[in-house]
Amino acid sequence: MTVLNIRTARAIWLVDSRDLNPRGIDIFPILDALRVRYNFQTYPTRVEEANEHDPKGIVFANGSFATGSGRHAIAKATMYGDGIVVDSTSSTEFGDAFLADALTFLSTQFGLTYQPDMVHTKIYVSEMIVRINKDLAGIFAPLTAFQERLRSLSGKDFQPAGFAMSIDPASARFQPVAFKFEREAGKPFSQFRYFTSAPLRTNEHEDLLRHMEPAL
């Protein structure tokens, strides 16, 4: 398996914003410091854009952050009243590193309150395009007769396009994203390019796909 590109690596840290700022420190200098430190090109400039309790949150976009592997882009970082969401095309591990750096910076430089155990839940979304030089015919073998019937009725060469697994909505209050593995839209089947998503860290997602590959 080859990872061709990371479409989305989302790290979500759930933490009450009131706990981070228990004394009501003015957040505008804080927001400006974030803009400067992480080179954000889109950032809040008006009071109405600096309300984490607004459904849109406080939005920063097109920034960057340096880790041990180099400097990488931050596509978007959004602060809400109950957590922070970071999107990149690097990895969820990169998102975690950025969040830890930002919260530590704000606590040491601006007097916000932050301890790692204040983050009560971490949620991840990983989306990537991979190449696996195998078709999907093997795992859909029990549906061969159905496939042939569909071809006969339609006059078209229908082939398996993918599969998904999700959580029963009745089984959990929080519904993670579904695991999906499907042919990349608009690409010839012969290229063996697949879009895949999972509610996992990037490295866990890759590991899962490597374990799945022999079954295809």
Helix residue ranges per DSSP H, the chain: 17-20, 28-38, 92-110, 144-154, 202-212
pLDDT tens column, 176-211: 999 999 999 999 999 999 999 999 999 999 999 999
Last residue of a domain, one of 74, 96, 123: 123
Query: Over the Cα atoms of the chain, what is R_g?
Result: 21
Report the Cα–Cα distance between both ends of the chain, in Å, rounded: 12
Q: Is residue 72 part of a domain?
A: yes
Stated pTM of the model: 0.93
Range of the domain at 161: 126-215
Q: Is residue 198 part of a domain?
A: yes
Total count of domains within the chain: 2
pLDDT tens column, 53-79: 999 999 999 999 998 878 999 999 999
